[in-house]
Amino acid sequence: MNILHLAALREAITRQRPGWTLEQPFYTSPEIYDFERRGWLAEQWYTLGHRSELSEAGAYIVRDLLGESLLIVRGTDGQVRGFYNVCRHRGSRICDRDGRATNLICPYHAWSYHLDGSVRSAPAISADIDLAQLGLHPVPIREIGGIIVGSLKGHVPSLDVVQREVEPLLQYQGIPQARIAARRSYPTRGNWKLVMENFAECYHCYPSHPEYCRVMKHVEVFARQATREVAAEWERTMEQWFSKDADRDSPAPLRKDFKPGPTIHSVGRAPIGEGRKTQSQDGKPVAPLMGQLRSFDGGVTGFSIRPFVINMMTNDHMVMFQFLPTGPEDTNVVISWLVNESASEAEVDIERMIWLWDVTTVQDKALIERNAEGVRSSAYQPGPYSAALEPGPIQLVSDYLKAMLARL
């Protein structure tokens, strides 16, 4: 981005009215996207996989993140590490697809690397070259209760507090011992902010997600009448469930409201409601109980790291979302559904399990794409968010603008 563009970007940011949507170029400009991709976006955490995909030493997966190919590897010491999938000899891609190996070998001239990224051998390279300096370029990777998150740059927000607070809960829910039962991709023609804004609010749930509202009744009630009384009534229902019916041993706190908290992560449980055991069409289980839960309490537990890491856990399955910006106006949304690793295929009803989030995400993809089409129009101007029902997007946009300004 040249200096003129940077000045224009700074001006656009300072012009931005708090509580209103962004100006058009933030949702469409390749220059702004490129600036984000090299800076702020590269310093966020993204879900890249699950422990079951890297269950043994030498297992590796190849994943794209912000236009880069990454190699994520489980070492002989049990640690998961991530590297750019770029050979230090002449830059070739090293691996094309997931696999398992004792060393990583570049197919071009056969340089090989240990699982920790250091060079193992570089045939016919003169002895005065210091191969210790030519290990694979590392990227930040963390494994939190079986969820593998990664980033591109070293200056990522610390996950120490998140790990400490969330690991026991994910252990309790059985997430490290889960397996992926289904995975689907929803490539969406819209800037990542339009995608994340959509996922950060439920204002659209009543008009646009009839199935979701049928399952999560309180969402419908709340979204239709966003009053203090309705919110207080829902809070009473939740507290009653938490003190009477919820699993007592779960380390997750009650999730009080829909607003983002002061930390970058949030975690909490709430009842699905109306006696539903899980988020299926009829509320009946779709798989065996997970983790240490002894009976169905009908709760749903959320765990997220702002803005891209979002997971939901019911009693019998987990829904792991991946949000991957892939271009100025393109974002890939990937959903994985996980169940107990010991659950047999016969015990898991995949169609009933994926129903809710598949139907909802197909709807969201269409909503976001229509939103993106309108935003491309010369008539588009920023509009006001609902303070009552869109605190998530308000926070997302304000965090984003602050971070961008700090980089200019």
Residue 181 binds: one of ligand FES, Fe ion, none (C-beta under 5 to 8 A by kind): none
CB of 408 to ligand FES, least distance (A): 37
DSSP 270-338: EE--TT-SSSSSSS--SSPPPTT--S---EEEEEEETTTEEEEE-SS-EEEEEEEEEETTEEEEEEEEE
Percentages helix, strand, coil for the chain, rounded to the nearest 5?
Answer: 35, 25, 40
Instruction: Candidates 22, 66, 70, 106: give the one binding ligand FES (CB under 6 A).
Output: 106
Which of 22, 87, 181, 215 is in the footprint of ligand FES by CB under 6 A? 87
Q: How far is the CB of 77 from ligand FES (least distance, A)?
A: 25
User: Cα(first)–Cα(last) distance of the chain, in Å?
Assistant: 11
Question: Given candidates 10, 17, 109, 284, which one binds ligand FES under the rule CB under 6 A?
Answer: 109
- Exposure string of 69-102, with b = 16+ CB inside 10 Å and e = fewer, is bbbbbbeeeeebbbbbbbbbbeeeebbeeeeeee
SS3 label, residue 61: strand
The closest residue (CB) to Fe ion is 364
DSSP string, 94-143: --SS-EE-SSEE-TTT--EE-TTS-EEE-TT--TTS-GGG-SPPEE-EEE
Q: What is the CB neighbour count within 10 angstroms for residue 29?
A: 21
Least distance in angstroms from the C-beta of 226 to Fe ion? 16
- Using the rule CB under 5 A, is 220 a contact of Fe ion? no
Tell me which of ligand FES, Fe ion, none is bound by residue 111, counting a contact when its beta carbon lies within the kind-specific cut-off of 5 to 8 angstroms: ligand FES
**Closest distance between Fe ion and the C-beta of residue 184, in Å?**
16
Question: Minimum CB separation from ligand FES for residue 76, in Å?
Answer: 23
Residue 114 or 217: the one with the smaller Cβ distance to Fe ion is 217
Q: Under the criterion CB under 6 A, does residue 111 sit at the interface with ligand FES?
A: yes
Binding mask 33-72 for ligand FES (x = CB under 6 A): ----------------------------------------
Taking CB under 6 A as the binding criterion, the range among 106-114, 137-145, 340-348, 349-357 that sits at the site for ligand FES is 106-114
**Rounded to an integer, what distance in angstroms lies between the CA atom of residue 101 and that of residue 373?**
45
> Is position 364 an interface residue for Fe ion (rule: CB under 5 A)?
yes
SS3 at position 240: helix
Shortest reach from residue 118's CB to ligand FES, in Å: 15
User: Applying CB under 6 A, does 89 fall inside the site for ligand FES?
Assistant: yes
Partner interacting with residue 364 (select from Fe ion, ligand FES, none; CB below 5-8 Å by kind): Fe ion
Q: Min. distance of Cβ 364 from Fe ion in angstroms?
A: 4
Which region, judged by CB under 6 A, interacts with ligand FES, from 101-109, 199-207, 250-258, 363-371?
Answer: 101-109
C-alpha dihedral sign at 234, 237, 243, 248:
negative
Q: Which is nearer to ligand FES, 78 or 123 (CB)?
A: 123
Q: Is 387 in the site for ligand FES (CB under 6 A)?
A: no
Beta bridge partners of 144: 147
Size, binding site for ligand FES by CB under 6 A: 8
Identified binder of ligand FES from the candidate list 69, 92, 208, 332, rule CB under 6 A: 92
DSSP string, 148-212: EEE-SSS-PPP-HHHHHHHHHHHHHHT-TTEEEEEEEEEEESS-HHHHHHHHT--TTHHHH-HHH
Angle among Cα 207, 210, 214 to the nearest 5 degrees reads 130
Please give the residue ranges that form the binding site for ligand FES (CB under 6 A).
87, 89-90, 92, 106, 108-109, 111
Where along the sequence are the contacts to Fe ion (CB under 5 A)? 364
